[in-house]
Structure 1
Amino acid sequence: MASPTPQLNRLLARLSRRLTALIWLHGVSSALTTLALWTLFCFWADWFLHVPAPVRLLHLLVWLGAPLWLCYRELLQPLRRRPGAAGLAVLLERAHKGLDQLLVSAVELDCTGRDVRGRELVYRVRERAEARAAELELGGVLDRRGPRLRLATATLSLLVVGLVFSHNPALATIFANRLFGASTPWPQRTHLVVEIPVGTREAAPSTPTTTTTPTTLEPEAATAADSVLSLRVSRGTDVPVHISANGLVPEEVLLIFDSGERLTLGSGGADRFSTVLRAVQQDLSFRVYGGDDQDGQPLVSLTVLSPPDVVDLALVVQPPAYSGLPTELLFRGDTEVLAGSRLTVHARLTPPGSTGQLRLLPADDSLELLPSPFPKRSDGGPLPATLASSRTPDGGAPSASPDAPAETAVSAETAVSAEFLALSALRYRFELKAPDGMVDPDPGLFAVEVLEDRAPEIALLLPGRTEVELVPGGHLPLFLRVTDDFGLTELSWSAAPTDSDGTERPGQSLAPVPMEGMELTWGAGALLSSAALAKAGADVAGDGDGAPGTDGVDDAGSQGDALQPREGAVYLLTAEATDNREPRPGRGASIPLRVRITSPDEFLRRVQDRLAEARLATTGLVRLWNEKLTQLNSLEASAAGDSNRDSARAEFLAQALTGGRRVAGDARSLARDLAAIAQDVLYSGIDERGSSLMEAWHRTTGQPTGREFRPGPWRELATDLRAGSHGSPEFAGRLVELTELALIVSEEAAPTSVAALEAAVASADSADLRSTLAVAGQTQRAGIAALERLRTALAEWDNFQSVLTLTRDILNRQRNLIEHTRAFARDR
């Protein structure tokens, strides 16, 4: 029977088909999306985490069950709940407003059992529904965005899975096998390479041992024989461990030792992990883990062996021949030697058969250690010539001399040695290697301090100043003290004018004489005349006689005034010494002595000024000593007083002693000043009758050993002068007498007074105190009397010199007047 509403039925059938298609699209897309995403999750988890089989089984169950459950929930159930014709009509009416349930009524109304009027109404409804069904569209009835989105998600997920597995088909196969129960291992992504740059690789017994530096082993490529990396290292060695990560670099690497200790290493962003096992003392082993490299291979095993070492050490020091020092045998590593010494380092090594080299620092030179006998241990000291060198000229070991004493006979034990020349300070160490390949990880460092052979040192003893004045026709005493480490070969002096062109002038030789009681010290002296100085400064050819012996007097001035220096000239006199150092002798020079040539008148004026200063000093000393004597008299008077004033008396005694010492110091200074003036006048030649006195003084002083003031020769000279042994010199003799008066004060009265005051301070008895104070007062009064005589003599000298100066000025003026008169007469 034909349907009363064919158009409506066709419309509803089309809507039903579309609804069924959307349900299928929704359900299948949901299942496929879930399957794809779960597949990716299982692949990621198994790839990165290497999940065990039970977890993989769970993943498989979810992989199978989740899509089936989604198909049931999202496909089968929606298909079963699809609406009928009335429900489809409701969907159409919801999409198209204004139908007022027309389509639902047309579907649900039935004409059966109705009267005519009712049937007509049903027919009209159906007709109207048919008419509207022809006009309706299905475009907005169903929402297709959700199924389409699920389809796109499923397509994208499947595309990602396809790309991942197609890019790594081998990994996809392994994943599938592992997912379905197989135990196929994943390919390793992290490969750790162990590198140990020290030690010796242990080999099989039949394989010779070879040294591997550095020793590397890739655990993943290790065979069964290489699963253990055995190394031998010396005890105390710092063992660096470097681990390189190939492939995926882990954040950290773990070292697990056989003792259970763990050491975690961080990379710091690089693909290399490093650590140092400090001063390994015992055997140890460890494994390395990191990333997915968890097999712990290889097992790194370190076997600690005793390193080669020096068990005995000896040095043979052979100084340079010029020094005259004996060859020494020293049983120590550190030493001090003279520059140019030859050192032979002997060492006895353990274990037997060890070899090596001697490293010299800082030059970084290496010397091979050659077999050589080791000297027998003794107290050391000088060696006989037979053992002075540890090798024969051809490099072999010398045989022990039958005449060698027992304490220096060489031992038959095998040893090594090396020889070098010490020219500057250095350090040396032994770099040893044992027969089994072991090396000394921490070789000792020994020091050789080299003492330089210093150049000669020249001290100018006389004159005592660096600037002196010399009168034409006068003499300059030159006394030198030369010190050298080993010996002198030449000593000379030279002079040059200050306005010279710097040309080197030949030196005048001096004969050095060893000083008594002073080791490696020589003295030399000469009495240089002004003519000899001028001759040396002018570089006059000839032998010259400006360098006589210490006790001789130069007679170069007898050659005439042509060689006399001009007034106002200044010469620089320098002494030079050459020692016996080899191969290049050392040369030393004294401080230049500035010699100024002055006129006799100017010289006498300076002498007069110096004597005036001495007179002022004498007057001040007399005043000071009188004050101290007054205090001493008061103290002596109070010595018999009340004993309750002992504390105050002790303070006064201390003040008196301090004053006495001050007086003694001033007296010594005055005596030195007068002696210097007298010496300058003696050598100046101003006093024509003082030549004998000058020669006697030069012989009496002899060769001084220092710059200290010696009063003995002056007192001896004064005694001879009073005895008439040197004639009757005028100026010089008077100055010697003044010096003697000053010496009486400085060497007799003042020291005796100080000694008495010291005894008074130390005295505990009143009687002793009074006696010592009396002695001190007596000596001070005697000293003051001597000072008064000295002051009177200085005043007379000053008056006498004033008269002489005035007379000389009058004569000079008369001479000038006569010359002017003669010149005026010639002009007329």
Structure 2
Amino acid sequence: MSVADPERIDQSALRQAQARVMRRLDRLRRALRAHLIVEGMFWVVGAVFAAVLVSLLLDRWLRFDPPTRWVLLALALAGIAYVVYRRLIQPLRVPLEYLDLAELLDRRAPGVGQQISNVLQLPDLLTAEDHASASMVQASVLDCAQALDRRDLDGTLNRQRRRKLLGEVGVLLGLALGFAVLAPDVTELWARRWLAGSPVRWPQQTYLSVQGVGDDGVLMVPRGELALVQIDAAPEFEEQGDGRFSVAGRGKTPLVVESTAVPKSVPPQGVSVSYRLSDGSKRRGNAEQFDETRFRYELPPLAEPATMHLTGGDDWLGPILIEPIDRPAVRSLEISALRPGASQPETIRVGEGTSQLLFLPKTQLELTLVADAPLSAADALNTGQPASGWSRQDERTYQLAWTMSESMALEFRLRGQRGELLSKPYFLAIGLLKDREPRLTIRAAGVGRRVTPVARLPLFVRANDDFGLGNLALDWELASIREGKQHVETEQLPLADLTPPDENTELLTQFEYDNELALSDTGLVAGNVLKLRGVATDASALGEQTGHSRWLQFQIVTPDELFYEILMRQREQRAQFAEALESAKAQAKGLAELDGTAALPGLARSQQVINRRVWKVANQLSASLVEMTLNDLANEQARDNLQSAIITPLETLHADLLSRLRAEIDAVGRGGQVAEDKRAEAQALADQSVEVMESILAQMALWESFIDVINQLRHIVEQQSDILKDSEEMQQERTESLFVE
């Protein structure tokens, strides 16, 4: 096979053919890239439009919070970026060389790709050492070039699809632009919420807020107590300018609403509450509506934090952290009191003692309250009104200073800095201590209201004062008849000076004076009326005060008159004792005739009556003996006789025989039958008691006879004294008459 001379080949024709094909392929490449750009733009615009539409609808429906929007926006941008890369960047990065275009064209028009390859690649064979026939290469290239010239390569592209995609892109952009023009507020709000991260909410009908929630989103409640969550469905909006309004009490992220006017909230039909406890358990409930726009929910006592969510109408809020904290309380309460007359104040710690807080008028007081936690405020009320002088010293300490003039009923209310929780009311009563005048009691035991001029009055005076006694005295008032007129003499007899010798000695608040007042040296006569009362002064710093006891009044009578009264009382006691003796005899007879237990209760009661009568007679006679002694009636021998022969035997009778007799009577029928041995013992004691009583009654009669004899002798002596006195007066008159003559 002969080889042609390469120089005889028409190189220009080959180059022209290649150039024509390459120019057409270049145009085809540009058209294809434009087609890829249009299709990529369609996918990108569609993805963006879908993301915007879905975000708008879901956000309008579900009202995502900023963190959720940020996450969803990041996912949307990632998806759009993927579409941009997959549908736009990656196709455009394909090099689309001539042979690549030939391969693509061959898919649409079979054979075209081979023709393009022949035109572009066959001339390269002419440069190889073992090149093919030049004429054949030339002929093939030119034939393929002519065939390609007859082909519409641009027609292989789907221009209708590109126009459709461009139209659809225009429609999507038109829809977006039209929506932005028709609803600019919605568009702007969407853009600000999704692109600017604004917390501004979509317009809604209901707005809720929880009272007590701070800017940190924490609701503080009392630890271990039932707590009411107050929910307001018509909260107050705070204008921030530029048509923006905010609502507090919704957690960490405040609610911002844009409106030309103050938004209005429509109360929902109900508010649901859900909260999660520290142990992970969840609880749900419905708030109770107690006002047109207000709801409340009662939380159980909490010791650990919990989180809460609320939903009502088209509004919701949360999570709100519920943190249990302790209420503020009073750690210490001290009162500094400078009492009148004192040089140094006294400090009193309230609650450490049991004594009441009582202070004198003009006492200078300073109360210091210290709380156990920092306070934002503290109130002190006196009988429901703010106390004057209440001042803040620091975040825990408050003071109240005043001068005591009236009783105070203080109430303290503390408000803590954390949570603004109120303390439980703390009440404190401070009373006004009135320094009363001294209180005195006086009595004269052993004498009656009628005494002789020589009586000895056993005075007992007791004085008490709140803070200290100064002096104790006795007021004396003597009433007599002189020249037919009543004459009253008064005198004060000092009894004791109770003033302390120095400042270190404490004042006496109680003093007892027990002594006898002898009337023999006072010149009293029968017919006088003597009145006595105790009087005391105190050592009050507010001024001396005087107190008095009641009056003791004594009628001064002659010894004969008083003695006669006492004898009448003694005779009355003797008559009662005689009746007791008759009862004792009847009892002894009953014991002797006892034949059954039926009569024992009556005998026991009779014995009890006898005991009481004997004891009463002994006491009355003993009292009359004391009165006789103090009034110096009868003589000492007669009084000793009364004591030894009558009173002492009566006391012994009551303590010994009668007591034993009562016990034996009770023992007679103890077994349900009459015990003969016990009856015999009781009979013996009864007979012995009768004998003793008869002996005492005889001594009573003897004592009265003895007194009658003494009185008769005294009267005889007095008559003799009167006769002697009259004789001396007559003798003196005769002697004087002789000298006169």
Name the TM tier (shorter chain): 0.3 to 0.5
Higher gyration radius (CA): 2
TM-score normalised to the size of structure 2? 0.48
TM-score normalised to the size of structure 1? 0.43
